[in-house]
Amino acid sequence: MNTHRERVVLITGAAGGIGAATARTLVADGASVVVHDLRREGRLAELAAELGDAAHALSADLCDPAAADALWHEALAWRGHIDVLVNNAGIYEAARLDDELAIWHASWERTLAICLVAPAALCRAAISTFGEQPGGGIIVNLASRAAWRGEDGDYWHYAAAKAGVVAMTKTIARQYGRRGVTAFAVAPGFVDTPFNAPAVAEHGMEMFVNDTALGEVAQPQDVANVIAFLASGKARHATGATIDVNTASYVR
């Protein structure tokens, strides 16, 4: 059965590793996708061209919650409905203990803005739309293993943002189910995407491979498959859950 036929899915950060794999997977399943990223040109434009009529590309800087809200309404205008929101855009930048306070704080603000506040603004807009449309809607938020395990010393802000995403997702699931909203979080461990290029350059891939139970790191498709399942509507009664995709590197 083609579970995604006629569904419209908004995917933020779709020019990146997990977002692009998710867009391709959902379109292969019959969905239409609004693919978003910081810039429309380059990788996002190439992805949209590859996916043809099933995709519509939009750009917005998610440092700004007003831009996140405007993105939702632009995306909604494309086909007149959105059935699934995938909050996937994210950054992973260091805030070092020995950075000057202003630099450290700016990194906290950027990380919280992109990884927590913009997803919250998009959830806010989505809940309001989903509450009005037949069939409601599904929210899938990208969290991280860092939400439970914690993260390396330079990344407390990232761990805090992702823990916030988990708490926000649980709250949405508990409070808005009767309005037709289901909400899930997906918590990857290491995934082989551009996100980790600096860490791989510093430590080498072997360190990350050794941390897994399968002797191989997850690829973007491994996360995309889980997102697509949650987006299919087949997991309604798992609402509020976080699905770990961390190759048993951290079993909670």
Among 18, 34, 117, 227, binds ligand NAD (CB under 6 A): 18
* 62 in contact with ligand NAD (CB under 6 A): yes
What is the 3-class SS of the chain, one letter each residue? CCCCCCCEEEECCCCCHHHHHHHHHHHHCCCEEEEEECCCCCHHHHHHHHHHHHEEEEECCCCCHHHHHHHHHHHHHHHCCCCEEEECCCCCCCCCCCCCHHHHHHHHHHHHHHHHHHHHHHHHHHHHHHCCCCCCEEEEEECCCHHHHCCCHHHHHHHHHHHHHHHHHHHHHHHHHHHCEEEEEEEECCECCHHHHHHHHHHCHHHHHHCCCCCCCECHHHHHHHHHHHHCCCCHHHCCCEEEECCCCCCC
- Say how many residues touch ligand NAD, by CB under 6 A: 25
Q: Segment contacting ligand NAD (CB under 6 A): 47-55, 121-129, 191-199, 227-235?
A: 191-199
Rounded least distance, CB 38 to ligand NAD, Å: 4
* Least distance (Å) between residue 52 CB and ligand NAD: 20
Active site residue 155: no
Q: Determine which residue in the list 88, 111, 232, 242 makes contact with ligand NAD, applying CB under 6 A.
A: 88
Task: Please tell me whether residue 194 binds ligand NAD under the rule CB under 6 A.
Answer: yes
Catalog residues that contact ligand NAD under the rule CB under 6 A.
Answer: 13, 15-19, 37-38, 61-63, 88-91, 114, 142, 144, 188, 190-191, 193-196
